[in-house]
Structure 1
Amino acid sequence: MSEWKAKRFWKDSTVVPAEGGFTVHLDGRPVRTPAKRPLVLPTAALAEEIAAEWQAQEDQIDPLSMPFTRSANAAIDKVAVQKDEVAEMIAAYGDSDLLCYRADSPAELVERQTAAWDPYLDWADSDLSARLVPVVGVVHQPQNPAAVAALRAEVMAQDNFALTALHDLVSISGSLVLGLAAQRGVAPPEELWTLSRLDEDWQIEQWGEDDEATKLAETKLRAFLHAARLYQLTRA
């Protein structure tokens, strides 16, 4: 039996001002989230992206072709109703940030990590008041509580849509520092993604590519870039 899919029932999707922001109408009817909540978006820019996704649908609705709609639904239906839990989960990365765990050999890898990652630890210190200390190995070593608290404050201050974007930026990269750097535009998101892949790219240089791993990395890259774009649209 073939899976039933919802069919397009509207002609035009439009952006409409709403209480607290903007929403999208389909032939004059407001879009709602899967939990039947109003789809209220913080900026017209994000609303335009979502309206374009609805307008691009053909005979059958394909949710996978609507990433901004899905992210907005997540912000409203999931993050908003458990914001503290989501924020704490993201903030926990501050005590085990990818950029702090370094190899002890070979020397070339050690040097590459130092050159690539130290500037971002310096940035976290200067701009976020969070001095994280790199350690050798993969065994967890607690960071200075003051630094962890400073990073946590950055996370807890974010609104639902920013937190939705940050969740993906951090969980995909493994680094709260890189996630916050992406939000603040410290470097292009493609560059930050490459930094998070330093160890994997080193292994590829030594042993060659694995097709399955490469496809997974490409999927993660698209998701990382989407999260960065989502955040930008919520600030536009």
Structure 2
Amino acid sequence: MRPTARLCLSSILTPLRNPTTTKTIPITTAASVTRAFHTTPITTAKVVPVYGTGPPPRAPEPSAEFVAEERAEREERLARRRRQAELLRHAGGIQGLRSDAHAHAQTQTHGQGQTQGQHGKKSTGLKRRFWKDVSVKEVDGSLEIHLDSRPLRHPTTKAIIRLPLTKPHLAHALALEWDSLTSAQQATKQHLIPLTSLICRALDIANSPTPEATRTEITTTLLRYLDTDSLLCFAPVDPDHDPSSSSPHLRELQEQAYASTTRYLTAHAWPGISIIPVLDGTALLPVPQYPGTREVIQAWVMGLSPFELAGLERATLAGKSLLVAARLIVEWSEEGAGKSKAASTGSQNQEKGEGNGGKFGVEEASRAVSLEVDWQTGRWGEVEDTHDVQKEDVRRQFGSTVLLVSGQGTKTESG
């Protein structure tokens, strides 16, 4: 804080008392008679004393009565858990005895088996499935899956699920899916019946009361993946990478997968268009495709059959890539997937010249959509129960798509 300004009163008052006096007052005399405006003396700041450092004070200790109550509650809790564990162990032994008795009774008489089966239901938490055998039957020109004598029905519409005669592999895979269920409750869990949900999705598209609106909604959703397609996003070029190295860089793998898939699609399904990468290197915003590209792809998606459209939707959502899903559909569809004879003939000759030995299957599709994940896990390691589970789930989704669209039909040749 600044000190208060002080004025010399004697130098001011003297001329007022003697107006005619012109005597000069010495500085020393004026300084000796100075007087401050403030009557209180100036005080300096008080420094806070430094307190000594040391260990923190001890926490307050509970009273003896409270300690005794807490110990009693803890012992009671432990005793209750021991009793519960003993009851569970005893119940498990009883359940094992009942299951053995149930199996033994079934070999003797059917009536006793039913009685023991009811006891088995009481001991287990899940209700046993109401069917014993699963079979595939041909009924009225279509394939049906029968649970004993009951046909498999749509969970929502309750309509009988009928598959074309050209899809026996799909029918037997669906029957195997239901034969692997052990309880009726498992049939309500979507992750345990992925093929059933996919087939029901295709049937819903085929029997939709507003087919045009349903197809438009699906097409709009799928075209959004074209702007961020995992096959069209490239990693930056690594200046430190040695081109002569035995292990290729991620950018090289992405370029190879992109070139192979786009060349196939533009030759088979989308002739006359060019598909460019949307994110290259350090770009932040996706680059739009050339004019007319989205319109051609949209028209192709709108023209797919219900089974092809459902398979394309499942594969796109699983791999986050519309291009990989489209190639999978075109490769395996028994209905042609909208490709023309001219494009098919030219592309077949091109493939023979390139030496492409096999089809673009589930393994190739899963590798194409997981290039970056595989490359990173190859360098830094794999997270258990995360990367391996995701890899198997993508394969399962692509496999169900192949089963859905493939078949023994010859619609491509006749159409």
TM superposition score normalised by structure 2: 0.50
Report Cα offsets for 1:114-152 as digits up to 9, x if no partner. Answer: 123212122222222242012413522211232222222
Moved more, 92-101 or 154-163: 92-101
Equivalents in 2 of 1:116, 1:71: separation in Å?
A: 27
Out of 255, 273, 276, the residue aligned to residue 133 of structure 1 is 276
Number of residue pairs the alignment of both structures matches: 235
Is 2:391 aligned against 1:217? yes
Contact 1:25–1:31 under 8 Å retained in 2: yes
Aligned to 1:229: 403
Letter in 2 for 1:181: R
Which protein shows a greater Rg? 2
Report Cα offsets for 1:171-206 as digits up to 9, x if no partner. Answer: 222221111211233412201210111112222233
Equivalents in 1 of 2:307, 2:171: separation in Å?
A: 13
Contact 1:169–1:228 under 8 Å retained in 2: no
Is 2:194 aligned against 1:67? yes
SS of residue matched to 2:231: helix
Is 2:311 aligned against 1:179? no
| Residues 133/80 of structure 1: CA separation in 2 closer, same or farther (3 Å cut) | farther
| Residues 222/59 of structure 1: CA separation in 2 closer, same or farther (3 Å cut) | closer
Contact 2:206–2:306 under 8 Å retained in 1: yes
Q: Which runs of 5+ in 1 are unaligned?
A: none
SS of residue matched to 2:266: helix
Equivalents in 1 of 2:378, 2:289: separation in Å?
A: 31
Out of 160, 163, 178, the residue aligned to residue 54 of structure 1 is 178
Letter in 2 for 1:134: P
Which of structures 1 and 2 has the larger relative contact order (alpha carbons within 8 angstroms, sep 6+)?
1
Contact 1:37–1:76 under 8 Å retained in 2: no
* Higher share in helix: 1
Q: Which runs of 5+ in 2 are unaligned?
A: 1-122, 209-213, 240-248, 332-358, 411-415
TM superposition score normalised by structure 1: 0.82
Out of 267, 292, 305, the residue aligned to residue 146 of structure 1 is 292
Aligned to 2:163: 41
Out of 245, 256, 271, the residue aligned to residue 115 of structure 1 is 256
Aligned to 1:189: 362
Equivalents in 2 of 1:235, 1:72: separation in Å?
A: 18
Runs of 4+ in 1 over 4 A off after TM superposition: 2-6, 77-80, 233-236
| Residues 207/56 of structure 1: CA separation in 2 closer, same or farther (3 Å cut) | closer
Is 2:216 aligned against 1:84? yes
User: What percent identity do the matched residue pairs reach?
Assistant: 27
